[in-house]
């Protein structure tokens, strides 16, 4: 891959990688570090990158780096509306934080495909290849994750009343 191709790769995927890293780490500074490391590793392994699966490859690197960071004992930070627009109402921020808490409470086998789809923007087929599971398994896991999230959010709303 030539330098100009790598620049295009960065331009096309840096925002998605950073958004995904922010979700995984919960901390903007760590997400910046993960994003930089992802593209450093992509640069050093650029001969292995296939354009058709580049985003999945980059997101997999981000996932592994974030997981390694947690294993090394990094404390998972708080997301406090970094995804929410600056003028968001307090109720929207509370709902957002409750949604993130619900996402983090999901078992990893459900959280991972859902986050790859929602935050990474990957289609089901790429998620199946990345996770090494059949396509129907990905669809079922994402469906189950959504159902559990909806149930938990409903319980949270009922508890507020």
- 82 found inside a domain: no
**DSSP assignment, residue 51?**
G
| Mutual angle of helices 124-131 and 108-118, in 10-degree steps | 140
* CATH value at residue 106: 1.10.10.10
Residue range(s) defining the domain that contains residue 104: 88-161
Q: How many domains does the chain have?
A: 2
Is the domain of 113 the same as that of 153?
Answer: yes
Around Cβ 135, how many Cβ atoms within 10 Å? 12
Q: What is the structure's pLDDT at 108? A: 86
Q: For the ranges 4-13, 20-29, 95-104, 125-134, which has the lowest average pLDDT?
A: 95-104
Point out the domain boundary residue: 53, 76, 99.
Answer: 76
How much is the pTM? 0.57
Angle of CA points 46, 51, 56, to nearest 5°: 90
Is the domain of 113 the same as that of 45?
Answer: no
Q: How do residues 77-136 score in pLDDT, each as one tens digit?
A: 444 444 444 454 555 555 777 777 788 888 989 988 998 888 888 889 989 988 899 999
Point out the domain boundary residue: 46, 76, 106.
Answer: 76
Average of pLDDT values for 54-80? Answer: 70
Point out the domain boundary residue: 19, 42, 76.
Answer: 76
Q: How far apart are CA 158 and CA 90, in angstroms?
A: 19
Q: How do residues 135-158 score in pLDDT, each as one tens digit?
A: 999 999 999 999 998 888 888 878
Is the domain of 100 the same as that of 61?
Answer: no
């Amino acid at each position: 891959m030539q330098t100009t191709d790598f620049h295009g790769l960065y331009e096309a995927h840096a925002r998605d990688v950073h958004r995904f890293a922010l979700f995984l780490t919960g901390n903007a500074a760590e997400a910046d570090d993960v994003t930089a490391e992802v593209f450093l590793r992509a640069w050093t392994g650029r001969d292995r990158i296939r354009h058709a699966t580049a985003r999945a490859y980059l997101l997999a690197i981000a996932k592994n780096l974030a997981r390694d960071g947690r294993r090394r004992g990094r404390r998972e930070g708080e997301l406090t509306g970094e995804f929410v627009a600056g003028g968001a109402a307090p109720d929207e921020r509370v709902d957002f934080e409750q949604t993130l808490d619900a996402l983090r409470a999901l078992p990893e086998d459900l959280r991972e495909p859902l986050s790859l789809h929602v935050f990474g923007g990957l289609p089901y087929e790429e998620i199946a290849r990345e996770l090494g599971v059949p396509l129907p398994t990905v669809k079922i896991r994402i469906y189950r994750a959504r159902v559990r999230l909806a149930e938990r959010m409903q319980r949270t709303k009922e508890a507020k009343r």
